[in-house]
């Protein structure tokens, strides 16, 4: 089984479409969206090819393959146009004997940890900056942003296969591989 992780689409049809292409090229079983799906937020400029309606249509076309959580720019009205659940603040995946918590990162992060156990994994977005750290024996991973990276980070995504989480740029080049 293979999971593809993206975060922070922010209504960009260009990068949502690229994410679906990547998902298909990677032959992912599920696409995990770490929040901020349709709206760009009041602090961000409009993303490239901003079109939340087209993003919703595109993602709804693969709704059975999507696992998603809510970001700080996601609202109840977004759930009305999306055919997959996306309003949970976090979700838990059980993966090869490991508990993986997925969340956006605006509520739960290294400064406000979920109530997890040692050796659990937290995967989040929100900062638009790819990162990996170990805190109190908990692995924390951020695959960066597919559409709106910050701090000179590339447009990026993550792939979980076996016990390796790989962060790649949108051209498929490996940036970092992380043992979970």
Assess if residue 104 is contained within a domain: no
Expressed as residue numbers, the domain containing 64 is 2-89+144-179
Assess if residue 33 is contained within a domain: yes
**pLDDT tens, position by position, 30-55:** 999 999 999 988 887 888 899 999 99
90: its two tokens = 């976090």
Q: How confident is the model at residue 171 (pLDDT cuts 50, 70, 90)?
A: very high
Q: CA 26, CA 28: separation in Å to the nearest integer?
A: 5
Mean of pLDDT values over 128-133:
96
Q: Identify the H or E element spanning 95.
A: strand 90-95
Residue 31 is predicted with a pLDDT of 98
Contact 132, 176 (CB under 8 A): yes
**pLDDT tens, position by position, 65-115:** 999 999 999 999 999 999 999 999 999 999 999 999 999 999 999 999 999
Report the half-sphere exposure of 173 (CA within 13 A, side-chain side): 5
- Cα torsion 133, 27, 15, 57 to 10°: value is -120
Q: Which residue has the tokens 């997959």?
A: 84
Q: How confident is the model at residue 148 (pLDDT cuts 50, 70, 90)?
A: very high
Domain count, the chain: 1
Q: Does this model's pTM top 0.85? A: yes
CATH number at residue 18: 3.60.21.10
- Residue 63: helix, strand or coil by DSSP? helix
Assess if residue 51 is contained within a domain: yes
């Amino acid at each position: 089984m293979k999971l593809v992780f993206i975060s922070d689409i922010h209504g960009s049809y260009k990068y949502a479409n690229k994410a679906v292409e990547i998902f298909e090229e990677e032959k992912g079983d599920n696409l995990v969206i770490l929040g901020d799906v349709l709206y760009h937020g009041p602090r961000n400029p409009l993303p490239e090819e901003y079109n939340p309606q087209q993003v919703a249509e595109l993602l709804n076309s693969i709704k059975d393959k999507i696992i998603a959580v809510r970001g700080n720019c996601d609202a109840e009205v977004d759930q009305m146009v999306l055919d997959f659940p996306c309003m949970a603040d976090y979700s838990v995946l059980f993966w090869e004997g490991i508990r993986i918590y997925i969340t956006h990162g605006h509520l739960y992060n290294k400064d406000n940890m979920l109530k997890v156990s040692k050796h659990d994994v937290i995967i989040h977005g929100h900062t638009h900056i790819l990162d990996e750290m170990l805190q109190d024996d908990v692995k924390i991973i951020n695959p960066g942003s597919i559409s709106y990276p910050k701090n000179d980070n590339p447009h990026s995504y993550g792939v979980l296969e076996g016990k390796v989480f790989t962060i790649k740029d949108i051209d498929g080049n490996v940036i970092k591989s992380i043992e979970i």
